[in-house]
Each structure stands twice: as structure tokens, then as C-alpha cells.
Amino acid sequence: MRTSYDVTIIGAGLAGLQCARLLARQGLSVLLVDRKNTLDQKVHTTGIFVRRTLVDFDLPEDSLGPPIKHVTLYSPAHRSLELVSQHDEFRIGRMGQLYQRYLQQCLHAGVDWLPQTSYLGHSIANGKLTLRLSSASITTRYLIGADGARSRVARDLKLELNREFIVGVENVFEGAVLDGPPRLLCFLDPKLAPGYIAWIAHDGEETHLGVGGYPSLFDPVTALQDFRSRVEDIIDVGKAKQIESRAGFIPVGGVLGNIANSTGLLIGDAAGAVSPLTAGGLDPCMRLSAFAASVVTEYLSTGDVQALQAYSGELFRSRFASRLWARRIAAGLRQPQLLELGCAVLRLPVFSRLANHVFFGRGSFPDVMDQPTLVCRQHS
Ligand SMILES: Cc1cc2nc3c(=O)[nH]c(=O)nc-3n(C[C@H](O)[C@H](O)[C@H](O)COP(=O)(O)OP(=O)(O)OC[C@H]3O[C@@H](n4cnc5c(N)ncnc54)[C@H](O)[C@@H]3O)c2cc1C
């Protein structure tokens, strides 16, 4: 290991791994740091990838479960709305394996990997950026915070911090029995999942049972137990093997505005890059990290601080306006009767298109190459 790098990335979740391998492929020296010992431990995502990500990125086939086209949306009284896509819409990632595969690609591209190491802080003296890590001190030209929803790097760099969170918990099973094809089952219930949903994601091999909601409004562990007994008639996990429990905070306030300065920038959850409506963050991890890698490469090769101006959350926020409104509405819907009514409306053929759009629409995180600023930069 060296003592000086072009770029140091804190956090080897999907955002950090994606960014590290792209930067190293550009010939930069990259150090990737994570406090975890191995990346297949303490996974905190269900790992549902949407079609747009599956089409646009090179996710390893052997790290993905069978495709899913069916979604069932349940009202609080368990009245259901069935949605079926013509396409394979979702696949559940085998996330431990996927992280390991991406780590292998990082190492192959020349990234230095420092596991079991925490980022503790940084200092700048004589224009030199020094990072204090739990196992070493190193200097770096640029720092990237991929350290998750409650990012320490964001705080240290005086960038914007996530302020609105939901919390999700789930159990993962092998061998659960659910009749019919692989599918996602989403349950609207303000007690079990205030402001979000409870879910069963079943791809025929793996089954995830989870609840999410605003942490001040429920106890997620108790809610998950209640949910499990409420869905006994739908899914039988009695003889299934529980292989994991997962949990984590999800920032749902939309992508943050101020996410870069001349010392460092933020990607993934640290940048609030999560859909406020669906709480999906994996597609944003892939897209924003790719964008960050191109901006940082340009900045370090030219030394031109202007390059960083393109990396502003403000560019994306306007594209999230409707989803932020939908989040406000979801956060305020506390009456089961209101949700029941909303679900009854969605079952009307004319409105079921809206439900189809939410689940099967192709609008995840905006494609950065769609941004006018970037298109201009590319052509200039
Ligand atoms: C229960 C749950 C289910 C979800 N399901 C889905 C889903 O199905 N589909 C979807 O699209 N999105 C989902 N999300 C959201 C999605 O998982 C996240 O948006 C995404 O995983 C964020 O990745 P990341 O790399 O930014 O952060 P993380 O995966 O959180 O990675 C951050 C890394 O930084 C490390 N780290 C943190 N602090 C330090 C430090 N000081 N020093 C060193 N290392 C540090 C951590 O160990 C961690 O490995 C879910 C989230 C949760 C909580």
C-alpha cells in the first residue's frame, strides 16, 4: 500500500465500488476504505434492481436472481391490485456476491483495498490533504464520501447532510413457499409501515419480508413480527430457512444540493441520491457514481475547479419535484381509511395506469448525460 493517492473513497457499498473501479480504469491511483471486514457481511439493502439499471449497467449475471414481472399492491384491508409488466422489470441482487465481484474488478483495475478501517477525519496543511484512518494516515488529492446515509465525510467537508430518513428492516429466507410466479407484494398500512410500505420480494429462490417507515412513528422490529403473522395466509415461511436479517436508514429528502467542493464530493446515499417515492437507491448509486468518476477525472487532470461545478445536486433536484411531492403525501397519509380509498381509486382502470407508472416506469435517477450542462461540456 502507498501513502499517497489521487483519490480515496470512504465506503465500499455499491456507490463506492462503482466509482472506484471507474476511476482506476482511468489510470488514477485509488484507495478504497471500508470499516467492514468483508463486504458480504451486514448488507442493508433488499437489492431489487430495476430494469433500467439492468439494461444500462454490467451487473454480473450470476449475482442476480430470476426476473420478476408481477407486482401485487395490497390496501390496508388486503384488497389487492395485480400489475403485470410485459418486461422483466426487477431482479433481486445477491448483494454479498455482487459486492465481492465488483471488489475483484476494482482490484483488477489497480485499486488498493483497505478493509476493517474507519475514516476518522481529515486535515489540510500546506495544500496537502491528509486523512486520518483507524489503521493509517495517508495523503490524497481528493476525497470521495460513499459512506452511506449518515455520512461523516459530508459533515467533515461541510457539505449538505441528509435530514429526512425512513428506516427499513427485513428478514431474508430460502425455501419459502408462495404460489404463482416470482413477484413483489407491496402492502400499504400506516401502522406496519408509516409513510412507506411493507413488502414481500420473492423470486422463487430467495424471499425478503420487510417493513419500512418513519422511525419516530413505529417500532420496526415489532412491526416486522406483526407483518409476518399478518401474511401467513399469503406466504409460508414456517419451513423456510432464514439466512439473513438486514436493516438500515434510507434518506428520502431527495438528492442534496451541495455535494462537492475542491476537497471532496459525495455519492450514493451520502449524496441523498435515493428516489424519495420508492426509496430505491441502487440505480442512483450506479449513475451518480459514474458521473462523479468522470467529473473527478477531469478535475484532477486539468486542476480546473470549474469541472466540479457540473457536480451539483441542484441539476437533479428539479427532476425529483413530483417524487418529493408524492413523498410529502405518503408521509401525511396516516389514516387507514384514506389509504383504503386511495387504493380503491388505483383499482379503477383509468388510475391503474398511475400504479403501473410508479412500479414499471423507467424514471429512476436522471441520466447524467441528459443534463444540458454536461452535454454542452461534452461537445465543447
Ligand atoms: C432495508 C433496505 C432495503 C433497501 N432496498 C432497496 C432495493 O431493493 N432497491 C434499491 O434500489 N434500493 C434499496 N435500498 C436503498 C439502497 O440500498 C441504498 O440506496 C444503497 O445501498 C446505498 O449504497 P451506498 O453505497 O451509497 O451506501 P452503503 O451501502 O450504505 O455503503 C456505505 C459503506 O460505507 C461504510 N462506511 C460508513 N462509514 C464509514 C467510515 N467512517 N469509515 C469507513 N467506512 C465507512 C459502510 O461500512 C458501508 O459499507 C434499501 C435500503 C434499505 C435500508
Residue type, 150: R
Beta bridge partners of 247: 169
Write the DSSP symbol of residue 238.
Answer: T
Give Cα 321 to chain centroid, integer Å. Answer: 19
Average of pLDDT values for 30-57? 95
| Strand duo 70-74 + 183-187: pairing | parallel
Q: Which residue has its alpha carbon closest to ligand 1 atom 8?
A: 48
d(CA 92, CA 46): 7
Model pLDDT for residues 164-185, shown as the tens digit of each residue: 999 999 999 999 989 899 999 9
Percent of the chain topping pLDDT 70: 93
Ligand 1 and 16: CB distance under 6 A:
yes
Q: What is the mean pLDDT of the chain?
A: 90
* Distance between Cα 44 and ligand 1 center (Å): 6
d(CA 272, CA 286): 13
d(CA 125, CA 131): 11
Residue partners of 136: CB distance under 8 A and separation at least 6? 1, 3, 114, 117
Total residues belonging to the chain: 380
pLDDT of residue 149: 98
Question: Which ligand 1 atom sits closest to the C-alpha of 50?
Answer: 11
d(CA 100, CA 10): 17
d(CA 56, CA 126): 42
d(CA 260, CA 306): 11
Q: Which residue has its alpha carbon closest to ligand 1 atom 39?
A: 147
Q: How far is CA 4 from CA 1, 8, 29, 260, 308, in A?
A: 9, 9, 9, 21, 22
Question: Which ligand 1 atom sits closest to the C-alpha of 92?
Answer: 8
Going by C-alpha positions, the residue among 326, 256, 253, 282 that lies closest to residue 91 is 282
* Distance between Cα 263 and ligand 1 center (Å): 23
Range with the lowest mean pLDDT among 64-73, 234-243, 326-335?
A: 326-335
Residue partners of 131: CB distance under 8 A and separation at least 6? 8, 119, 121, 122, 137, 138, 139, 140, 143
Ligand 1 and 13: CB distance under 6 A:
yes
d(CA 224, CA 210): 6
At residue 376 the predicted structure's pLDDT band, cuts being 50, 70 and 90, is very low
* Distance between Cα 107 and ligand 1 center (Å): 21
Whether the Cβ atoms of residue 35 and residue 153 lie closer than 8 Å to each other: no
Ligand 1 and 272: CB distance under 6 A:
no
* Distance between Cα 259 and ligand 1 center (Å): 17
More confident residue, 312 or 25: 25
Whether the Cβ atoms of residue 212 and residue 281 lie closer than 8 Å to each other: no
Beta bridge partners of 266: 145
d(CA 115, CA 34): 5
Going by C-alpha positions, the residue among 275, 260, 254 that lies closest to residue 310 is 260
Neighbours of 200 (CB within 10 A): 25
At residue 363 the predicted structure's pLDDT band, cuts being 50, 70 and 90, is low
pTM assigned to the model = 0.92
Ligand 1 and 287: CB distance under 6 A:
no
d(CA 204, CA 308): 45
Whether the CA torsion 305, 57, 272, 247 is positive or negative: it is: negative
* Distance between Cα 173 and ligand 1 center (Å): 20
Q: Which residue, chain included where needed, has cell 459533515?
A: 155
Question: Strand locations in 75-136, DSSP E?
Answer: 80-84, 90-92, 112-114, 119-125, 128-133
Question: Which ligand 1 atom sits closest to the C-alpha of 270?
Answer: 26
Q: Is the pLDDT of residue 379 over 60?
A: no
C-alpha cell at 104: 475483484
Ligand 1 and 263: CB distance under 6 A:
no
Ligand 1 and 264: CB distance under 6 A:
no
Q: Is the pLDDT of residue 105 over 50?
A: yes
**What value does the CA radius of gyration of the chain take, rounded to a whole number of Å?**
21
Write the DSSP symbol of residue 11.
Answer: -
Whether the Cβ atoms of residue 31 and residue 112 lie closer than 8 Å to each other: yes
d(CA 48, CA 50): 7
pLDDT of residue 374: 40
Model pLDDT for residues 284-328, shown as the tens digit of each residue: 999 999 999 999 999 999 999 999 998 988 877 777 776 777 777
Whether the Cβ atoms of residue 265 and residue 308 lie closer than 8 Å to each other: yes
Question: Which ligand 1 atom sits closest to the C-alpha of 47?
Answer: 8
Question: Which ligand 1 atom sits closest to the C-alpha of 34?
Answer: 44
Going by C-alpha positions, the residue among 284, 287, 282, 258 that lies closest to residue 273 is 284
d(CA 31, CA 9): 6
* Distance between Cα 45 and ligand 1 center (Å): 7
Q: Is the pLDDT of residue 360 over 80?
A: no
Average of pLDDT values for 31-55? 95
d(CA 265, CA 345): 43
